[in-house]
Amino acid sequence: MSFACEFALCQTRGQRDYQEDYCEFVAAQAEAAEPPGHGRPQRTGRLLAVLADGMGGHVGGAVASTTAVTAFKERYCGIAGQTIAARLELSLHAGNDAVAARRKEDPGLDGMGCTLIGAHFENAALHWVSVGDSLILLLRNGRLVPLNADHSMGPELDRMAQLREITPEQARSDPMRHALRSAVTGARLGLVDLRAEPYELKPGDWIIIASDGLETLSRAAIQDVIERARVRGAQAVANELVDAVNAAGRPRQDNATVMAVQVLGAPHRAAAADPDRHPSMTAIKRAAAAGLAVIALIVGIVWFSGADNRAAEGPDNPGHFQTETQDFGEREEPEPVMPGNTPIPERKQSKNTSHPQ
């Protein structure tokens, strides 16, 4: 099945003086001159999105998230001959091992870690692996639903409330609600959500990959922003979600990162970027059109030269030749290549001076 997506990202520090989130897109033949997040989204037929939300303080959190994402990306792009699910799982362990190595090198980084999401888009399908409480959300047909598992204490507290072991209010206000049950720390991974089977995507779907700073907004508010901004594309969606987080004015607002991916209705055409990739197909089309034109000319000559004979036989309708452009299908995309590091745009939030850091 033909597949194309448009993607963009945006970040905010919230009310913190530092950024612990880190993310990257890796696209196959992305069709844009600028990196995503710089005012122009990109389009591709194959995409890897990786996001991590660091923990461990100003230095530790940033080091953990950058280390894990970089190791994940490099491992993923270096694997051949494996299924997507296997590549995601191996890359997750590579990220975890890299965090362990950094902690061993620098004792000052002891205690650092991060959440991690790796998501692969291709052939109208999504695969992912995730650890922690970062989000993968799907907006389809007016419904916003989470796709990946939440490895914080929140789901456990909600389960206890459903069993009437605690009240719903106790579940919502518990100080341990956002504590993680699993994270990338360099130790053995506890809970891992691996989507091994392809999750089918449809034209018009929106996938939002985000750190938990986005959860300052309710799910209804997130859906409202996407639906208002989506006509202006992926960059507008990413920017306006981050702007809405900042506008909420939450005290001690956490970092927030949004990676927005729109599934497009039209097939991705690599020919625009590489017109000579299948010259034989182009030659066939041109030769067929020229051949039909010659046949039409010959038939016309024969038609007029034999007019007297046709008159004796009675009137006849002239033939009608119609040429159609044939769609030869999607071209095979190359394996993803790693782009150079690019700065990630940030949307600033005014600090609330009545609630100091």
Element of type H or E holding 169: helix 168-173
SS3 10: strand
Indicate whether 214 and 319 sit together in one domain.
Answer: no
- Evaluate whether residue 240 is within a structural domain: yes
- SS3 of residue 262 by DSSP: strand
CA neighbor of 262 nearest in space, from 221, 233, 225, 239: 233
From 188, 48, 58, select the one nearest 119 (Cα to Cα).
48
The answer to whether residues 190 and 286 belong to one domain is no
**pTM of the complete model:** 0.74
CATH number at residue 119: 3.60.40.10
Residue 328 CB contacts under 8 Å (≥ 6 apart), including other chains: 278, 281
Task: Answer whether residue 62 is part of any domain.
Answer: yes
**342 assigned to some structural domain:** no
Q: What would the pLDDT profile of 34-64 be if each residue is shown by its tens digit?
A: 444 444 568 888 999 999 999 987 789 999 9
Q: What pLDDT band is residue 306 in, cutting at 50, 70 and 90?
A: very low
The verdict on residue 169 lying in a domain is yes
Range of the domain at 139: 5-269
State residue 316's pLDDT score: 37
Average the pLDDT over each of 243-252, 268-277, 294-303 and give the range with the smallest value. 268-277
| Burial label, 157 (beta-carbon count in 10 A; 0-12, 13-18, 19+) | buried
Q: Does 125 share its domain with 257?
A: yes
Do 213 and 305 have their domain in common? no
CA angle at 298 for the pair 297 and 299, rounded to the nearest 5°: 90
Per-residue pLDDT tens over the stretch 310-331 = 433 333 333 322 223 223 233 3
Is the confidence at residue 262, as pLDDT, over 70? yes
Q: Tell me: the pLDDT tens digits for 83-94? A: 999 999 999 999
Q: What is the number of other CB atoms lying within 10 angstroms of the CB of residue 29?
A: 18
- How would residue 179 be classed by pLDDT, with cut points 50, 70 and 90? very high
pLDDT at residue number 52: 98
Q: Are residues 235 and 167 in the same domain?
A: yes
Of the three residues 219, 243, 269, the one that is the final residue of a domain is 269
Same domain, 163 and 119: yes
Distance from the first to the final alpha carbon of the chain: 50
Contact 44, 27 (CB under 8 A): yes
Query: Is 352 exposed, middle or buried, given 0-12, 13-18 or 19+ CB atoms closer than 10 A?
Result: middle
Top-confidence residue, 26 or 270? 26
Is residue 286 in some structural domain? Answer: yes
In a domain, 357, yes or no: no
- Rounded mean pLDDT of the chain? 79
Number of domains in the chain: 2
**Residue 349: inside a domain:** no
Whether residue 243 is found in the same domain as residue 322? no
Last residue of a domain, one of 232, 247, 269: 269
